[in-house]
Structure 1
Amino acid sequence: MEGQEILHKGLKEYFGFDTFKGNQEAIMRSILSEKNTFVLMPTGGGKSLCYQLPALLSEGTAIVISPLIALMKNQVDSMRNFSQEDGIAHFLNSSLNRQEVEEVKRDIMAGKTKLLYVAPESLTKLENIEFLRNVKISFYAVDEAHCISEWGHDFRPEYRRIRPIIKEIGLRPVIALTATATPKVQHDIQKTLGMLDAEVFKSSFNRPNLYYEVRRKTETIDREIIKYILSQGDKSGIVYCLSRKKVDDFSQILQANNILALPYHAGMDAATRSANQDAFLMEKVNVIVATIAFGMGIDKPDVRYVIHYDIPKSLEGYYQETGRAGRDGGEGKCIAFYSEKDLQKLERFMHGKPVSEQEIGRQLLMETAAYAESPVCRRKVLLHYFGEDYNIENCEHCDNCLNPKIKVEAKELLITVLEAIIALKEKQKADYVVNFLLGKETSEIETFSHNELEEFGSGSDESEHIWNAVIRQASLDNYLKKDIENYGILKVTKKGKDFLKKPVSFKIVKEEEEEGDLPDLESESSLASAGGSTGGAADPVLFSMMKDLRKKLSKKLNVPPYVIFQPASLEAMATSYPITLEELQNIPGVGAGKAKRYGQEFVDLIKKHVEENDITRPEDLRVKTVANKSKLKVSIVQAIDRKVALDDLAESKGIDFNDMLTEVEAIVYSGTKINIDYFLDEVMDEDVLEDIYDYFQEAETDDLQKAQEELADYTSDEIRLVRIKFLSDMAN
């Protein structure tokens, strides 16, 4: 009782609060009674207080190990605000000079300092170890503890050295705290810190006020996001991108569309980065476009939306980033854009890393893909990932629950999956199990002679997509679990074994489209549904009318329809209704040349349609090209005029040949005439050129995949080069 009174008194005296939140009081009692303590508390739950107050109430100095210098400074400043004495909290890191370090050490030795924040790198320095050996330490707090685990979303190798250093300095109780950890990561943290005996405190990961949605990423993503941000007025929001370049480009695009936005990433100088962060916190700007470097320890309560331009590398990262929305319990919209291409790009980034790291990265990406592609309640999938059951049938606050899909009975399919996993001695991961069910004789399956098992190929009459859906749903319903020690390996639970003895109803979602399929934009009905699913607002009637006009012009001018305008360009026109040639040039794939040559009839048609149907146009939506992008295109056109070989040009621009062809394709699609005959003469046989050219004259589409099927003898590069010549000759 006395301990309870001391805690309540301290809470009021130092922090001005009357009551604790959630588990805070029990956590503090645990560390004050010198027990190792593990705290899993989502963002906004009040983690810092769990070690700050016990440190103030204990004899000696608490050592707080924290990964970010900016975070340490914030925490030290806030602790000093609660106290009369500046020396009550200090940090020790690379930003301090020799004199400042001495001042910190003096305050500690004088018994003034209750909290000392250190970066793991500073903790490993010999002089600091020697110094701390002579300090009375109350306890160690390891903040952002997920950095210890290779399975965590922010792994830092130096975090794995914390335990040996604590041993060198002197053993004291440890409190480890994190906002995101799967059961696997939690186990890893406790094992690495030597605290498997710790008292564990978990708070729920459910944030009921957050709305989750995943949209298909298409060429009109910039337009979609701009439209969304403009609809939000002056509300604060964050847009996360994976690369620094995308952050710079997209923040400029937002600014060009009169949105108060600033960039934030680790490549900027510290002063600019800090100024941009402050501008957002002080509400001088509404939007921050950032890499994941932004947000750790940012305590802005009224972020109303978090948009992921690119799907993140892990669900932990995604949860952490979306957790910055609605921290005051108010509205928080979390919208992520997803395409399989992004996933493939992230996988390519992993090449060259150690094999174990690649394997972990791939497993984490698979979880992210499963979340993005799943038709099941987003909340259920997310909470299950963190080891928490969510048994409400419909959360009514995610895209999948608001548009529920039809469910079909899959009892027999689950039996097949469970029997296959047991036949494989519960030693394989999901992709191996699926290949085994489909009867694919992969080298791995043959090595283990699993192709000789009776269950091999027992699921060959269903698709890979269906088996993935069954495994996902079986995990969510706890018939299967992933092994903690070897993450990704599927184990059958007790509930799964009981099911095999006495099967009950088990349903999966019936999906109309195979995962990863994009609607065919050439079909009018699918365009309407594509508009619905992506949040775009393409007008199916106008789209159909423009297709008819395109067909009429193609006959008259004797060129294939796609040469006039690509389907994606027509879709964009049916979304933003350009009614002048100048507006038409802002449509993706339409440049000045194309607008002049073909545009007038299209803008006349659109104008008439808009007037007759009294349509309000989003005419203030001007997705302007970012200057540096057009600079590259201009320099490519100039180099081609000077007859520079395209492979040499790619090398001089620091891009690969593939990307160079993509840039040149964009130039000709937008209506600029170029002549690459000088390069074709050098690298290609005349017969080959004529053959491919004739194909495009006859073809109904310029689709590369279809061309490759028809022209199997030729390489993709050869086909693309001739397609560039053909489009430039015919259309421009």
Structure 2
Amino acid sequence: MYQLNSLESSLKHFFGYDSFRPGQRQIITEALQNRDVLVIMPTGGGKSLCYQLPALLRSGVTIVVSPLIALMKDQVDALQNNGIGATFLNSSLEREEVRDREHQILSGSIKLLYVAPERLLSESFIPFLDILRDRLGLASFAIDEAHCVSEWGHDFRPEYRQLRLLRQRYPDVPMMALTATATQRVQQDIINQLALQAPHFHIASFNRPNLYYAVQPKEKRSYLQLLKIIQDHANGSGIIYCLSRKNVEEIAARLQRDNISALPYHAGMTPELRNHNQTCFIRDDAQIIVATIAFGMGINKPDVRFVLHYDLPRNLEGYYQESGRAGRDGESATCILFYSSSDIFRVRYFIDQKPDPNEQRIAYQQLEQMIDYAEGTTCRRTIQLSYFGEKFKGNCQNCDNCRDPKPIEDWTIEAQKFLSCVARTKEKFGMSHIIDVLRGSRSKKVEGYGHHLLSTYGIGKDKSKEEWKMLARALLHQGLINQSQDGYNTLKLNKKSWEVLRKQREVSIAVTPQKSTKRAGEEPLQSSDAQMLFERLRKLRKQLADVNGVPPYVIFADYSLRLMAEKTPQNLDDFAKISGVGAQKLERYGEQFVSAIREFCYQNNSFINRLSDTQMQTLELYRQGLSLEQISQERNLKSTTIVNHLSDLIKCQQDIDISRFVRGERQKQIIEVIEKVGGERLTPIKECLDDSFSYDEIRLVCSWWQTRGKVNSEP
């Protein structure tokens, strides 16, 4: 059994992270005890790690079931870049490639195998799975996008229903089912369909605290607003969602004319062009993707800094998922919805095209919920999370309504009028009908039900329809009234409603818009030097990504680059302490990033060219005349670490005589090579010298050359 107290060290070794995200450690602990687990964790919560780390700590191969070819490849690329044995089998491979990969799997070098559900249960693959079980063992099955198993889920796939056969054929192999969203009904269906045995539940909060949410009115000049937001995020990737293909093409073309790297994406394009544009976006060859809702499924790009909805989404769940593609790396990101009442008519037109009256009714209810969000004056998170059945206290301070709160007024009397009207109409009608009764409408519906005879008829003429809607939404968002979820939007009184009617509870709501003085998504800026270094590291990351044929975020996440820019690690030991730097990435990329950081610090000697305590101790011993070996022994540190200190001291203009460590003739040979191949990287220099030259010698001479040798090449 794996020792659980070493989970953090394994996390750092394989993935470079210092600590787990909320819930991950508990899930991994349960998985390592060979229990079935059901994980419901929103986008960006870190679901993948929950099955990836256990796979590395157990014997045998973990089978990951995923319906998304693009996501399979991205995850396998990321794992391989961390030095982890992973591969996939899907329809994108030729027969010969499949055979080669199956041989590689059976050789024992693979710990995670990604497969599509269709292949997993095919007649040709099951025998291979049996061989794999007998030779190496099956560690577990991880069922990703598990909501696809349920006909009540939002993306039901019939082939997922057959996964129950896995439990029948391999009853002792534990299962982990994972999804981003699932109602209680879907959760139970997942358990039943996959035959999970007394599963451990983990249902995470849907709250994404790093995302800033705002709604802006869409006007004739909204393109200029959109352009301004993009310019404010000039160094970040972004997604712009539109309702129609026409809008996608038009906005992408306008952005291109304004010298912004933007590409379109919609279902009307050829698959080849869609894939090309998607790849360009994922690999940072294009800053912006302008898309319909056809874009996003299986996109594993964690560093999207903003998501803009140029048109009104059709439902709140879709908006949550689409906007949630921002900031998956946990860094701050901006989500802005441009809202116009004219968009409502366009969405209604699409709904009217549905042939099923029941589907139409549900779609209209979803549209009303979306309008409630767009026009709501309370905390955006409160509205979002209540949709998923999660309570949130409000005042998130990361949405427009919380950052720029509207003036609060006491509307208790108006609330009593509204709730009284709901009661007198027998709790059988929706918001619009209640408002018609309150405002004294002479509509056929009001008079047909005899509601013009009620005592509440016409008592709300002093308020406009929009004001009554504002109150009704506030009552819903504050839980002071309920709304049916059957597509009819019927209002129902609850315990708190009666407290208001009995004068046991007051009602305060935000009523008047107030012009904001803050820019959407504004965050405190780092120092200009740190930002400059961050951009230089992003360029280095892009170069390495292109050479390796992977997206930039596979090399390092933005979060890790930002830590590098802030902490400026000057040696590999310090670089290894950066979150996101695991053993494999330290070996593969450490030298190049540390060299870039050192060079930047030297060029900008006003920025963090300070000496640490440990460097000062080495400097003091050097001044006492001790040799490299003596300093190393005195300080109980590796000689390589002492050389790093001396290298840093040279770059900080300290008087270090490298002739004490590298003989003059050897210095000249190293400098001759440096002047041919450059002094930015040590490996190319080492390859041009004979084996007697050490990296320590080369590093010291490189540091001297970078600080003094460019002016005078005689040491």
TM-score class, shorter = 0.5 to 0.7
Tell me the residue number matched to 2:376: 374
Structure 1 distance, partners of 2:354, 2:305, is 39
Residues 224-252 of structure 1, C-alpha deviations (whole Å, 9 max, x = no match):
32344345444432222233333222211
Residues 1:408 and 2:405 aligned together: no
Tell me the residue number matched to 1:93: 90
Residues 1:240 and 2:241 aligned together: yes
- Report the 3-state secondary structure (helix = DSSP H, G, I; strand = E; otherwise coil) of the residue aligned with 1:219: coil
Q: 1:428 to 1:303 in 2, by over 3 A?
A: same
Q: How does 1:188-587 map to 2 (within 5 A)?
A: 198-296=199-297, 298-350=299-351, 351-393=353-395, 395-415=396-416, 418=419, 461=461, 464-481=465-482, 492-500=493-501, 503-510=504-511
Tell me the residue number matched to 2:40: 40
- Report the 3-state secondary structure (helix = DSSP H, G, I; strand = E; otherwise coil) of the residue aligned with 2:409: strand
Tell me the residue number matched to 2:155: 155
Question: Structure 1, unaligned stretches of length 5 or more?
Answer: 513-528, 536-732
Residues 1:28 and 2:25 aligned together: no
Contact 2:420-2:456 within 8 A present in 1 as well: no
Q: Look up the equivalent residue of 1:337 and give its one-letter code.
A: F
Question: Structure 2, unaligned stretches of length 5 or more?
Answer: 521-715
- Deviation of 1:285 after TM superposition, in Å, equals 3.2
Structure 1 distance, partners of 2:355, 2:128, is 37
Structure 2 distance, partners of 1:251, 1:288, is 8
- Deviation of 1:47 after TM superposition, in Å, equals 1.5
Q: Look up the equivalent residue of 2:68 and give its one-letter code.
A: L
Tell me the residue number matched to 2:112: 115
Residues 597-648 of structure 1, C-alpha deviations (whole Å, 9 max, x = no match):
xxxxxxxxxxxxxxxxxxxxxxxxxxxxxxxxxxxxxxxxxxxxxxxxxxxx
Q: Look up the equivalent residue of 1:317 and give its one-letter code.
A: G
Residues 1:14 and 2:14 aligned together: yes
Contact 1:214-1:338 within 8 A present in 2 as well: yes
Structure 1 distance, partners of 2:450, 2:198, is 40
Residues 1:68 and 2:82 aligned together: no
Structure 1 distance, partners of 2:16, 2:229, is 40
Structure 2 distance, partners of 1:198, 1:443, is 55
Structure 1 distance, partners of 2:453, 2:127, is 61
Structure 2 distance, partners of 1:435, 1:142, is 50
- Deviation of 1:505 after TM superposition, in Å, equals 0.8
Contact 1:180-1:319 within 8 A present in 2 as well: no
Structure 1 distance, partners of 2:140, 2:441, is 55
Structure 1 distance, partners of 2:414, 2:359, is 33
Contact 1:76-1:90 within 8 A present in 2 as well: yes
Structure 2 distance, partners of 1:391, 1:10, is 37
- Deviation of 1:377 after TM superposition, in Å, equals 2.4
Residues 357-399 of structure 1, C-alpha deviations (whole Å, 9 max, x = no match):
3333333222211111112222332233333333244x44433
Q: 1:131 to 1:354 in 2, by over 3 A?
A: farther
| Bigger mean CA deviation after superposition, 480-489 or 64-73 | 480-489
- Deviation of 1:290 after TM superposition, in Å, equals 2.4
Q: 1:49 to 1:216 in 2, by over 3 A?
A: same
| Bigger mean CA deviation after superposition, 494-503 or 334-343 | 494-503
Structure 2 distance, partners of 1:111, 1:50, is 22
Residues 257-304 of structure 1, C-alpha deviations (whole Å, 9 max, x = no match):
222222234444455444434433444433222233444554545433
Structure 1 distance, partners of 2:90, 2:102, is 13
Structure 1 distance, partners of 2:445, 2:101, is 58
| Bigger mean CA deviation after superposition, 481-490 or 236-245 | 481-490
- Deviation of 1:532 after TM superposition, in Å, equals 10
Q: 1:507 to 1:272 in 2, by over 3 A?
A: same
Query: Across the two proteins, how many residue pairs are aligned to each other?
Result: 513
Tell me the residue number matched to 1:53: 53
Structure 1 distance, partners of 2:341, 2:409, is 26
Q: Look up the equivalent residue of 1:345 and give its one-letter code.
A: R
Tell me the residue number matched to 2:545: none
Structure 1 distance, partners of 2:97, 2:380, is 49
Structure 1 distance, partners of 2:490, 2:429, is 5
Contact 1:265-1:273 within 8 A present in 2 as well: yes
Structure 2 distance, partners of 1:256, 1:127, is 52
Structure 1 distance, partners of 2:215, 2:70, is 32
Contact 1:305-1:325 within 8 A present in 2 as well: yes
Q: 1:8 to 1:384 in 2, by over 3 A?
A: same
Q: Look up the equivalent residue of 2:22 and give its one-letter code.
A: G
Tell me the residue number matched to 2:81: 81
| Bigger mean CA deviation after superposition, 141-150 or 47-56 | 141-150
TM-score by length of 1: 0.59
- Deviation of 1:99 after TM superposition, in Å, equals 4.0
Residues 403-454 of structure 1, C-alpha deviations (whole Å, 9 max, x = no match):
433333333444455566667777776567667877889999999x796997
Residues 682-731 of structure 1, C-alpha deviations (whole Å, 9 max, x = no match):
xxxxxxxxxxxxxxxxxxxxxxxxxxxxxxxxxxxxxxxxxxxxxxxxxx
Tell me the residue number matched to 1:710: none
Contact 2:379-2:394 within 8 A present in 1 as well: no
Contact 1:215-1:534 within 8 A present in 2 as well: no
Q: Look up the equivalent residue of 1:142 and give its one-letter code.
A: I
- Report the 3-state secondary structure (helix = DSSP H, G, I; strand = E; otherwise coil) of the residue aligned with 2:70: helix
Structure 1 distance, partners of 2:378, 2:324, is 20
Residues 1:5 and 2:5 aligned together: yes
Structure 2 distance, partners of 1:417, 1:80, is 61
Contact 2:212-2:334 within 8 A present in 1 as well: yes
- Deviation of 1:323 after TM superposition, in Å, equals 2.8
- Deviation of 1:53 after TM superposition, in Å, equals 1.5
Q: CA RMSD in A?
A: 4.4
Contact 1:133-1:169 within 8 A present in 2 as well: no
Structure 1 distance, partners of 2:281, 2:409, is 47
- Deviation of 1:480 after TM superposition, in Å, equals 3.7
Contact 2:218-2:338 within 8 A present in 1 as well: yes
Structure 2 distance, partners of 1:279, 1:38, is 35
Tell me the residue number matched to 2:142: 141
TM-score by length of 2: 0.60
Tell me the residue number matched to 1:688: none
- Deviation of 1:25 after TM superposition, in Å, equals 0.5
Contact 2:323-2:335 within 8 A present in 1 as well: yes
Structure 2 distance, partners of 1:203, 1:367, is 23
Q: 1:421 to 1:329 in 2, by over 3 A?
A: same
Structure 2 distance, partners of 1:425, 1:100, is 67
Q: Look up the equivalent residue of 1:4 and give its one-letter code.
A: L
Structure 2 distance, partners of 1:126, 1:421, is 60
Contact 1:11-1:18 within 8 A present in 2 as well: yes
Structure 1 distance, partners of 2:148, 2:438, is 37
Structure 2 distance, partners of 1:19, 1:264, is 37
Structure 2 distance, partners of 1:195, 1:305, is 38
Structure 1 distance, partners of 2:54, 2:249, is 43
Structure 2 distance, partners of 1:119, 1:479, is 46
Residues 137-166 of structure 1, C-alpha deviations (whole Å, 9 max, x = no match):
5444332345556776x5244376256555
- Deviation of 1:502 after TM superposition, in Å, equals 5.4
Contact 1:129-1:169 within 8 A present in 2 as well: no
Q: Look up the equivalent residue of 2:384 and give its one-letter code.
A: L
Residues 490-511 of structure 1, C-alpha deviations (whole Å, 9 max, x = no match):
5555444555555211123335
Tell me the residue number matched to 1:581: none
Tell me the residue number matched to 1:582: none
Structure 1 distance, partners of 2:261, 2:39, is 38
- Report the 3-state secondary structure (helix = DSSP H, G, I; strand = E; otherwise coil) of the residue aligned with 1:77: helix
Contact 2:408-2:508 within 8 A present in 1 as well: yes
Contact 2:376-2:474 within 8 A present in 1 as well: no
